[in-house]
């Protein structure tokens, strides 16, 4: 079969392995004596009054948490396969059908999808389509599927919500959500902006 590609481009970019990055962030937070608590609530006003500053990083959950109708879930499904020999860089094709192959330390991510849906169930037909397209582009045999992963990208029609606001009880809330599929890319800059907004509040220590 002839390749469908007529042109392409390459660039250097950092690739991060989410579980490793997450564990490092958690370890750093523990070193700084931060405390993590799991608490369920349905609106920001329910956050304990012991906290005078609330930072809302609810992602797609902000639809219900703050009733943001601009948010919509863009469903993504990927297949995790064994490490691919001789695949040393990520390959991405944005044209339909969406396709990407991202090598990691011990496996490889084949993708993917971008559809307006909040269905978190794996679709076998979609997995088969992903495998077919990735193997066609990479010119390899069908690999073993180790796992299927589904996530919801928090796309916001009017763009990222990164702003300071007030709760009905007068406490300050800083919203930081709606990053779509670019959460890791935007995370450091958005975190810095949240920090700056918090520092501007009266009585905040530098």
Instruction: Please write the tens of the pLDDT for every residue from 164-186.
Output: 999 999 999 999 999 999 998 89
Listed by start position, the domains of the chain span: 39-70+157-199, 73-153
Q: Is the CATH number of domain 39-70+157-199 3.40.470.10?
A: no
Across-strand partners of 77? 150
Domains 39-70+157-199 and 73-153 share a fold: no
pLDDT at 38: 87
Query: With 0-12 CB in 10 A as exposed, 13-18 as middle and 19+ as buried, what is 56?
Result: buried
Which of 84, 21, 62 is closest to 158 using CA atoms? 62
Q: What is the pTM of this model?
A: 0.86
- Contact (CB, 8 A) for 120 and 150: yes
Architecture of the domain whose range is 73-153: 2-Layer Sandwich (3.30)
% of the chain exceeding 70 in pLDDT: 93
* DSSP run (H or E) holding 116: strand 115-116
80 phi, psi to nearest 5 deg: -95, 125
Please determine, for residue 140, whether its predicted confidence score (pLDDT) is greater than 70: yes
Instruction: Please write the tens of the pLDDT for every residue from 19-65.
Output: 777 787 777 766 667 777 888 989 999 999 999 999 999 999 999 99
Hey, what are 35's tokens?
């405390």
Instruction: Out of 32-46, 65-79, 81-95, 133-147, pick the least confident.
Output: 32-46
Q: How confident is the model at residue 7 (pLDDT cuts 50, 70, 90)?
A: confident
pLDDT at 205: 55
Q: How confident is the model at residue 2 (pLDDT cuts 50, 70, 90)?
A: low
What mean pLDDT do residues 142-167 have? 97
């Amino acid at each position: 079969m002839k390749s469908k590609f007529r042109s392409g481009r390459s660039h250097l970019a950092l690739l991060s392995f989410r579980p490793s990055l997450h564990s490092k962030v958690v370890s750093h937070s523990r070193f700084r004596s931060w405390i993590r608590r799991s608490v369920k609530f349905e609106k920001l006003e329910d956050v304990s009054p012991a906290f005078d500053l609330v930072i809302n990083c609810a992602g797609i959950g902000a639809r219900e948490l703050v009733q943001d109708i601009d948010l919509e879930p863009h469903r993504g499904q990927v297949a995790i396969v064994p490490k691919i020999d001789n695949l040393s860089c990520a390959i991405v094709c944005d044209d339909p059908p969406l396709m990407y192959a991202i090598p990691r330390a011990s496996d490889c991510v084949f993708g993917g999808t971008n559809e307006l849906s909040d269905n978190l169930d794996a679709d076998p037909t979609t997995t088969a389509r992903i495998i077919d397209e990735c193997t066609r582009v990479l010119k390899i045999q069908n690999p073993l599927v180790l796992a299927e992963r589904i996530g919801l990208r928090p796309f916001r029609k009017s763009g990222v919500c990164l702003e300071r606001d007030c709760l009905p009880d007068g406490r300050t809330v800083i919203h930081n959500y709606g990053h779509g599929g670019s959460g890791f890319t935007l995370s450091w800059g958005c975190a810095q902006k949240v920090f700056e907004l918090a520092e501007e509040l009266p009585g905040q220590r530098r």
